A and B are shown apart, each in its own frame.
Chain A
Amino acid sequence: MNYIILIFQSTHRTLLAEKVLLGHGIKFDIIPTPKEITSDCGMAIRINPSLTNKGMVISILNDSKIDFNLYEKWMQ
């Protein structure tokens, strides 16, 4: 499946995003940052686009002023 991968500047920001997204009832998981993407920090947020609306996630993070980079990646 083609997943959405969100990468943040620091571990702190990743976990802040986790807290904010959980607060909005968003489903996602935390994975080790895939090597091909970048090594910004050790962990990344992975979203299954068939379960979660990408636009909604983007707008929640923007509203909370949490910067991120978004990638799409084929994963098993």
Chain B
Amino acid sequence: MKVYLDNSATSWPKPPAVLDAMSTYINEYGASPGRSGHGFAVRAAREVFETRELIASLFNVESSERVIFSANATHAINIALKGLLKKGDHVIITHMEHNSVRRPLKYLKSIGLIDVTIADCCEKGYVDIDKLTSCFRENTKLVVTIHGSNVSGAVMPIDRIGQICKAKGVLYMVDAAQTAGFIPIDMQNDSIDILVFTGHKKLYGPPGIGGLCIRNGIHIDTLIHGGTGSRSELDVHPDFYPDRLEAGTPNTLGILGLKAGIQYIIAKGIDSIRERLGQQTAFLINALKGIDEITLYGPGTSENRLPLVSMNVKKISPSQLALTLDSEYGIMTRAGLHCSPLAHQTLSTLPQGTVRFSLGCFTTDKEIDYTINALKRIITS
């Protein structure tokens, strides 16, 4: 039996409609959108346009032209941070951030551009709102927080943080790599200025596509200048969106796969997906809770959390446990730091990290049962 429980790294399998949309594009009309006016190019451009509109309605983005496509969340975060921050700016992040936020900020700090403060989190992975509030300075330009933790599964109160930032006149950027498509996000109601998503996790698109949504009135300088299909006679890059941040031929293939993935979760119902995965996650947690050798991390089952379980087994290293699960039982998990050493500092799981079991909307109850039994056998053997 093969059991894929690494959906927080990337979801698998994908809905069949994702591959269908991608192969239809490649086989039937694979032209470059927005570069010409012929039939294929117009059809491709319409598909890209509709995908932006779909994403804008999913996250309640004011203008769909401010939905920008990138290669992944990491790329989108870099576009935003490096295009927004100027010398002397101060940025606040939390102790649960992924390296995709931590490292670009560390780099900008190392070249003397900005200063960064990291707000503490409790051992479950929630940011301490009072501590976060005390981090603000005169020159604070931006707060960046993860929405759902890829390590503990904790979900941050983004609406509260958004309110605080709004009251202080500071920009708020949310890393929704783990939550977009799983927990409803409303950019306008939650006072989010920049929302980063990735296509290949809970939006069920292919790898290689992600993006950012930018509130009206905020301007981000582009890292990359080049062809956009617009204003071609000028030697300066256009300043309007989305062209401003999207030079070069876009990943139409990925965009179309993403569109089909989003349509899939909408048809299935984001709330019902979350409910079902919540039940499966709770079942897994409850089954493991009673086992003495197992330490579980993150919020309890009654809390709003991601469909993942981070754990350790006494006297077995995470990498050894993951290897045994895979080689003897065909259960694929992820061991280690999950690109988030800061988060493991919060959970006190450095330097080894944890083993993470992450569920997706194709995970079956049978697979969960099988996994629980496998863990019990490994522990007693």
Contact = CB atoms under 8 A, between A and B. Distances in A.
Contacts of A69: none
Residues of B contacting A: mostly = loop
A62 interface: no
A43 interface: yes
A41 B229 contact: yes
Contacts of B38: 32
Contact of B230 (A10, A18, A32, A44): A10
Given A30-B42, A33-B37, A41-B34, A13 B233 contact: no
B64 A32 contact: no
A13 B35 contact: no
Contacts of B232: 39
A2 B137 CA distance: 62
B42 A10 contact: no
Given A9-B230, A41-B230, A42-B36, A15 B41 contact: no
B35 A42 contact: yes
A10 B45 contact: no
Nearest to A34: B37
Contacts of A70: none
A15 B88 CA distance: 40
Interface of A: 9-13, 15-16, 18-19, 30-33, 39-44
Interface of B: 33-38, 41-42, 45-46, 49, 52-53, 64-65, 229-233, 238, 240-243
Given A32-B37, A33-B37, 10 more contacts: A9-B230, A10-B230, A11-B33, A11-B230, A15-B45, A15-B49, A39-B232, A40-B230, A42-B34, A43-B36
